[in-house]
Structure 1
Amino acid sequence: MELSTLSGLIMLIAVPVLLMVGVPISVSIGLGSTLAMVSILPFGNAMITASQRVFTGMNSFSLLAIPFFILAGIIMNNGGIARRLVNCAKVLSGRLPGSLAQSNVVANMLFGAISGSGVAAAAAVGGTMGPLQEKEGYGKAYSAAVNIASAPTGMLIPPSNTLIVYSTVAGGVSVAALFMAGYLPGILWGLGVMVIAGIFAKKLGYQSAEKPTFKAALSVFIDAFPSLLLIVIVIGGILGGVFTATEGSAISVVYSLGLSFIYRSIKVRDLPNIFLEAAKMTAIVIFMIGVSSIMSWVMAFTQIPNLIASMLLGLTNNPIIILLIMNIVLLVVGTFMDPTPAVLIFTPIFLPIVTQFGMHPVHFGIMLVFNLCIGTITPPVGPILFTGCRIANLKIEEVIKQLIPYFIVTAVVLLIVTYIPSLSLTIPKLLKLI
């Protein structure tokens, strides 16, 4: 057996085995990849190379945006911004069937457009909307399902930490182009959830809210305007070339913190816990990126991506079938793997294949992240699923049946996004980002 084949087998066997015995995924990837590297190089050289790969994987200016956006999301979650966005969403969607549920979807989209975190949106918006919906007679499982199904839109609508990770791995793909490409797919996902929520609201007899007076609506918009302005400042600044995505993430922290102090929702004594929470979340993501760089080195040495490409192209050279197979693989992977490691692992495998038949890397990035976003609301791992159920104080079994129609509509939207490139590429092209 060739040395490269042996090392590839070691990695492919070691990582799943470590995961099955309960080792955290980042440690499993790091240990499995290092074991494979030891089979290729002398022990001392392997340790040095592995250390260098970890450092190289994390040594990226664009990755600095991740801790700042994470911190900004936590500040917004605690700083009264979520409540104002919820009030704004209630005005925007209050006349639709099941108005509070519709407001939940719009609020998740708005919160995601500011924080970039689906889990944060599910917690902040779900925690605010859940009691309101229960008070109005909405079923808890129905409300939780709507909240969970719409929360991942924030991972597509910019800013998005997952798209930043993809940009780093793909190499040479503009973060700004990816951000703009995520708007229409993210909005389409949200609209799909709103349609299903409206259909079930009519069946269950959940009424629309009374139309607010112009004065009341104006008051809500004025109150929410400083929060909404953050979207314009960050995304507008990035597009206008005023600052980079990383600098924009730092500005979002300063702005959201200042706003929270003005709202008097956060005090100076709260900051240590907020910084600690952000540091913990950042450490998990950045460490994952670092150890995945070892795996990328092993895959390059063993030519695993080329082998998989040959297998796929050997089955068919029809791009439609290849993309369908990729979607199925990514949907399955997303059910048990977080988006960040999945992006790190599958981008170098699938991206060279799709570029062979002319798929734009920006379009592929949106397709990839869309798939993995669905995984965040499906068992057994689904972080948004678990967060939404915990916020609603429900068991997963009570919610999962309600989620099935939303799984179907998001799968349909995924196929539309996959096979209609213009949904992802029109805005970046209009802005001359690609």
Structure 2
Amino acid sequence: MDVTILFTVFILGLVLGIPVAVTLGLSSLAYIIAAGLPPVVMPQKIYAGMDVFVLLSIPGFILAGNLMNRGGITERIIRFANSLVGWVRGGLGLTNIAASMLFGGITGTAVADAASIGGVMIPGMKKAGYPADFSAAVTAASSTVGPIIPPSVPMIIVGALSGISVGQMFLAGAIPGILMGLAMMVTCYIISRRRNFPRQDWQGFSEVGRSFAGAIWALAMTFLIIYGLLSGLATPTETAVVASVYAFFVGAFIYRELPLRAVPGIVIDSAISASGILALVGFANVFGWILVSERIPQAIAAGVLSLTENKYLVILIINILLLFVGMFMETIAALIILFVPLLSLATAVGIEPLHFATFAVLNLMIGLTTPPVGVCLFVCAGIARLPLAPVVRAILPFLLTNILVLLAVSYIPALATWLPSLLID
């Protein structure tokens, strides 16, 4: 009966459009009251969920991304990407995807990518003759690469939940992220050829060199983060702090586009964004504790294993479940609620935790571009000044492409585990 109250309040909150963090808190509080537990359990579990050292890296990476974005990174990365692929048929679409791959290695969040890249590329593509729905769709689809290519906020969350090394998680996402980007480029090129989208003239290797020189400080930030983690010189949290200092120095003194008077506002905005994520983590920890105490994870595992113990069928079931959940729930909330139960199921049939974590994150990233709660869809449709329906239709080929990459990563573990095994003992 108590569990029924938990899920009833949770589902009702989602239906009414209440923010997920608040919905998690209200449903957990309803359960605690119905079960006759002392109310003090609530703040204790909230604090325990947020009292994880690696989670301190989230504010740092968000601040670093905001500082670099405000300091001129977006335009320089787009210029460099455009110099590489802008001359191909549909070149601005390819530039959009390439810029997201490069930009994602700095922000670690898809929504930041969609807003930053989209704010420049969607109007630019429309002006160049690309349909508005296609411009918005390719931007939304490519933004999901950001949290796969390191650094990645969802992967930090997974590391905190499971104890998997964040450094290994970052490396595990590199190859799937690159595959995702390349597959979307192929899709974009095919659509561009069929619909005769415009192309630009080749600007020469001199432009490639100039644009690379302009973007190198921004691109070096990714290598700084990865080197800090792989060398053992810094923890993820320390790496995030170093990245923030680096971003401030580059934006203020090298690019000279980050005015000092803007820094306090950027810090405040970053703190607000990070606090929202950490509040979600805290409330979701209470919800997750209730699920564990009611043995819901064991019930899920037993239910699936009663149907099949075949590893490949279990992978398919997990992917279908996560794709469905991703259509209705915010990524981090879905990870916190479902990751541990599904990890138990995955390990029970012999799936390596690092492999499972990688395709689980990739799966939920796809959910950012699926209706009705695809956040990146709403962001890009808003920038393009379009209703959601035409953007959803335009993004379908990219969704199919990303699902094919998801299946490849799900059934070929080496795509996720090879690089970490090579570089980390």
Same-fold status (TM-score > 0.5): yes
Tell me the equivalent position of 2:96.
104
Q: For structure 1, which segment, 209-218 or 191-200, has the greater mean C-alpha deviation from structure 2 after superposition?
A: 209-218
For 2:399 and 2:329, the matched residues in 1 are separated by 18
Deviation sequence 1:159-213 (CA, Å, 0-9, x none): 000000011111x200000000001111111111111110111112224432222
Contact 2:311/2:351, CA 8 A, preserved across alignment: no
Tell me the equivalent position of 2:71.
79
| AA at the equivalent of 2:191 | F
For 1:294 and 1:134, the matched residues in 2 are separated by 46
Q: For structure 1, which segment, 94-103 or 110-119, has the greater mean C-alpha deviation from structure 2 after superposition?
A: 94-103
Shift of 1:401: 1.1
Shift of 1:311: 0.7
For 1:216 and 1:198, the matched residues in 2 are separated by 22
For 1:179 and 1:362, the matched residues in 2 are separated by 10
Note the 1:10-89 alignment, pairs <5 A. Answer: 10-42=5-37, 46-89=38-81
Tell me the equivalent position of 2:419.
427
Shift of 1:114: 1.1
Deviation sequence 1:392-424 (CA, Å, 0-9, x none): 222212211111111111111111111110000
Deviation sequence 1:118-169 (CA, Å, 0-9, x none): 1111111122222332232222211211111111100100000000001111
State whether structure 2 residue 203 is matched by structure 1 residue 212: yes
Deviation sequence 1:71-101 (CA, Å, 0-9, x none): 1222222221111111111122234321111
State whether structure 2 residue 257 is matched by structure 1 residue 254: no
SS of aligned partner of 2:238: helix
Contact 2:6/2:31, CA 8 A, preserved across alignment: yes
Contact 2:149/2:177, CA 8 A, preserved across alignment: yes
Runs of 5+ consecutive residues of structure 2 not aligned to the other structure: none
| AA at the equivalent of 1:380 | P
Tell me the equivalent position of 1:191.
182
For 1:361 and 1:139, the matched residues in 2 are separated by 42
Note the 1:286-305 alignment, pairs <5 A. Answer: 286-305=278-297
Contact 1:331/1:375, CA 8 A, preserved across alignment: yes
For 1:18 and 1:397, the matched residues in 2 are separated by 25
For 2:150 and 2:3, the matched residues in 1 are separated by 36
Which of 126, 130, 150 is matched with 2:142 structurally? Answer: 150
Q: For structure 1, which segment, 90-99 or 198-207, has the greater mean C-alpha deviation from structure 2 after superposition?
A: 90-99
For 2:143 and 2:36, the matched residues in 1 are separated by 45
Tell me the equivalent position of 1:3.
none
Contact 1:157/1:183, CA 8 A, preserved across alignment: yes
Deviation sequence 1:97-117 (CA, Å, 0-9, x none): 211110110000100011111
Deviation sequence 1:373-399 (CA, Å, 0-9, x none): 011011111111111112222221221
Shift of 1:292: 1.1
SS of aligned partner of 2:394: helix
SS of aligned partner of 2:418: helix
Contact 2:311/2:350, CA 8 A, preserved across alignment: no
Shift of 1:22: 3.2
State whether structure 2 residue 165 is matched by structure 1 residue 174: yes
Contact 2:310/2:349, CA 8 A, preserved across alignment: no
For 1:166 and 1:137, the matched residues in 2 are separated by 41
Deviation sequence 1:239-261 (CA, Å, 0-9, x none): 11111111111111111111111
State whether structure 2 residue 402 is matched by structure 1 residue 410: yes
Deviation sequence 1:32-73 (CA, Å, 0-9, x none): 11222233344xxx2222211111100011000111111122
SS of aligned partner of 1:394: coil
Contact 1:99/1:207, CA 8 A, preserved across alignment: yes
Shift of 1:320: 1.4
Tell me the equivalent position of 2:386.
394
| AA at the equivalent of 2:205 | F
Contact 1:69/1:253, CA 8 A, preserved across alignment: yes
Note the 1:229-268 alignment, pairs <5 A. Answer: 229-262=220-253, 263-268=255-260
| AA at the equivalent of 1:389 | A
For 1:67 and 1:86, the matched residues in 2 are separated by 25
State whether structure 2 residue 358 is matched by structure 1 residue 369: no
Identity %: 36
SS of aligned partner of 2:17: coil
SS of aligned partner of 1:158: coil
Deviation sequence 1:266-306 (CA, Å, 0-9, x none): 21222232122212211111001001111122111110111
For 1:135 and 1:21, the matched residues in 2 are separated by 38
Contact 1:77/1:120, CA 8 A, preserved across alignment: no
Q: For structure 1, which segment, 132-141 or 280-289, has the greater mean C-alpha deviation from structure 2 after superposition?
A: 132-141
TM-align CA RMSD: 1.4
For 1:203 and 1:9, the matched residues in 2 are separated by 52
For 1:30 and 1:354, the matched residues in 2 are separated by 28
Which of 333, 336, 339 is matched with 2:328 structurally? Answer: 336
Tell me the equivalent position of 1:225.
216
